[in-house]
Amino acid sequence: MTRFTHAFRLLCHAVLAVALLGLPAAAAPFAAYVMDARTGQPIYRQNSDTRLHPASLTKMMTLYMAFSAIERGQVRLDSKFTVSSKAANEPPSKLGLRAGQQIELRYLLRAAAIKSANDAATTIGEGLAGSEQAFTQQMTQMARALGMNNSQFRNAHGLTTEGHYSTAHDMSVLGRHLFYDFPQYYNLFSRRSADAGIAQVASTNRRFLDAYAGADGIKTGYTRAAGFNLTASAQRGNRRLIATVFGGTSTAHRNQVMTELLDSSFTRIPDRVREVRPQPPRLLVQATTRRAQVAASPAATQAEPQRLVLQASPPPATRPAAAASTLVAAAPKVDLTEALRLAGATAAPAAPPGVALASSQRPRARPGSAAPAADAIQQALATAVASDDAPAQQASLAAPVLAGSARPAPSPRRTASIAAVAQPEPAAAPAPEPQMQAAPGTLSLDSSRAPKPRSETVILAAMGEGDLSAPEALEVVRRPTDSGRNWSVSLGRYTSQAEADRLLLRLALQDGNLFGAARRHVANTNRGFEPQFGNLSKGHAELACERMQSRSQPCQVIAN
């Protein structure tokens, strides 16, 4: 009985399992969006603004943030990122990173874009922002700057998390920005396999890339909640489309729906149209300004008079000149000119009748009398300043001064005035004032000659000797357009402009005889950055290419 019961139970479990396997799984919501990549205009839409789980399409934003950091100079492709334990423990798909391992950013980008490795995406986010939470905030801010208004990110890899969502429209917009903003990295999405440092990885999108002609990207995604998602880009002639499909039931179903959408949309857009490139994002990382909060305290809000007391500082040292200036200021104010005049009038003897002192010349002082005269001047000045109560003493001191000074020769215009003053007077009337005083009209300005008017002519003087000759004519040398130096050499294509610039600089330094006079230029093309040497002749360009090719350096001669 026991054996029969056990067998019956096993049979019931088997029937139930078969019944459950036969039931169709609940399909994820479907959404689709197709746009003309050249203009950004929509071609087809279905639930395009419905917020759904993007799955690994999230890694498109992770890669966009990494490319932006490289272009800003925050990191480089060879920068090494340390793998955290959180990143190493992410569920598959994964590259197989170990906690504490250091790996270059270039390998992380390949693993995230081609294999869709979750551990690589988390390592990128933590390495750029310090933590995955900070990185997801920056991802959401970047989405707003790109116009992805219905997207919000909670992780860097896209596994299902509450509050993590996007739309078919937003992912198509992001794919268009990846194509236009970073053409030097866009070829990463068309690779079927790549070296990820620790392993060779294969593309999760290789089936669609191989099956659809003109497809060159971009990214696949899958979770149970999201279904099979795909953002694809394809080109036919001058036309390019970017489309997104959410909620496919399988890889084959998703690829088939994408093929039908692209085929029908290519026939609905013109072959030639004016290209309208998307605007670059206005915001990369939100700037946070923190203000220091300082509580009010008496020390900060009230004055401290005891710190401003002047008595606390030593008084300045008194200079010796201060005493002399004080004495001079305290002395009575005396007119020195009047004192000297009174001294001369007292010391000068009265002239006999008929003799005019104004017409006689004073004899020259004897040799050696200059020093006593200078001493007498100092004594007279000191006496005049100190006191004006003894006019007789001042006269006796000022007499030697007047005797030692030379009298100036009279002016011709003063002859009439001097003659009028020099007339003899009666002997009974002594002169109360000195006879050497001139008449009031002697110093009249009307009798002086008027100065010549000032010339308004400006004379410009040159530095040094000066050169007034006419400047020499400049000879303009023009090189004809057909001079022959209209050839260039192209040295291949590179993924970054910095790498191309380094190659040009290195070759210019190594081969100065070849590229010394050449013009260095980096051409930004859709396939990458092309370093070029221009302004060469045809023979010079061919010789340079032959030498470069002998060193295994790609080189091509271009006619401008």
Domains detected in the chain: 31-266 (3.40.710.10), 487-559 (3.30.70.1070)
* Alpha helices (H) in 296-347, listed in sequence order: 298-301, 320-330, 336-347
pLDDT, average across residues 509-523: 81
Q: CA 93, CA 113: separation in Å to the nearest integer?
A: 12
For the stretch 190-197, contacts whose Cβ atoms lie closer than 8 Å and that sit 24 or more positions apart, written own/partner, are 190/215, 190/216, 190/217, 191/110, 191/114, 193/114, 194/110, 194/114, 195/107, 195/110, 196/95, 196/107, 196/108, 196/110, 196/111, 196/114, 196/115, 196/117, 196/120, 197/103, 197/104, 197/107, 197/111
Backbone φ, ψ for residue 454 (5° rounding): -70, 135
Per-residue confidence (pLDDT) for residue 164, from 0 to 100: 97
Torsion of CA 428, 429, 433, 434, to 10 degrees: -50
State pLDDT tens for residues 53-91.
999 999 999 999 999 999 999 999 999 999 999 999 999
Q: How distant is the alpha carbon of residue 100 from its chain centre?
A: 37
Q: CA 399, CA 345: separation in Å to the nearest integer?
A: 9
Token duo for residue 483: 């001079």
pLDDT confidence bin for 417, thresholds 50/70/90: very low
State pLDDT tens for residues 7-61.
445 444 444 433 333 334 456 899 999 999 999 999 999 999 999 999 999 999 9
HSE-up (13 A, CA, CB side) for residue 469: 5
User: Residue 110 corresponds to which amino acid?
Assistant: R
Residue recorded with tokens 């920068």: 79
* Of the listed ranges 181-190, 196-205, 271-280, 287-296, the one predicted with least confidence: 287-296
Q: How distant is the alpha carbon of residue 533 from its chain centre?
A: 29
Per-residue confidence (pLDDT) for residue 405, from 0 to 100: 59
**C-alpha dihedral sign at 326, 327, 328, 333:** positive
Q: CA 356, CA 424: separation in Å to the nearest integer?
A: 8
Q: Rounded to two decimals, what is the model's pTM?
A: 0.51
Among 88-92, 385-389, 438-442, 510-514, the range with the most confident prediction by mean pLDDT is 88-92
State pLDDT tens for residues 168-180.
999 999 999 999 9
Q: CA 214, CA 209: separation in Å to the nearest integer?
A: 8
DSSP 494-517: BS-HHHHHHHHHHHHHHTHHHHSS
User: Residue 440 corresponds to which amino acid?
Assistant: P
Q: CA 290, CA 365: separation in Å to the nearest integer?
A: 89
* Of the listed ranges 47-51, 131-135, 368-372, 521-525, the one predicted with least confidence: 368-372
DSSP 272-295: S----PPPPPS-SS----------
The pLDDT of residue 133 is above 70: yes
Among 81-90, 464-473, 498-507, the range with the most confident prediction by mean pLDDT is 81-90
The pLDDT of residue 202 is above 90: yes
Token duo for residue 3: 């054996």
Token duo for residue 132: 């995955």
- Cα angle at 531 between 496 and 61, to 5 degrees? 20
User: Residue 129 corresponds to which amino acid?
Assistant: A
What SS3 class is residue 221?
strand
Backbone φ, ψ for residue 38 (5° rounding): -75, -30
As annotated, the active-site residues are 56, 59, 116
Residue 264 CB partners (closer than 8 Å, separation 6+): 44
DSSP 143-194: HHHHT-TT-B-S-SS----TT-BB-HHHHHHHHHHHHHH-HHHHGGGG-SEE
Among 97-106, 321-330, 386-395, the range with the most confident prediction by mean pLDDT is 97-106
C-beta of residue 66 within 8 angstroms of C-beta of residue 138 = no
Better pLDDT: 522 or 463: 522
Mean pLDDT of the residues in the chain:
76
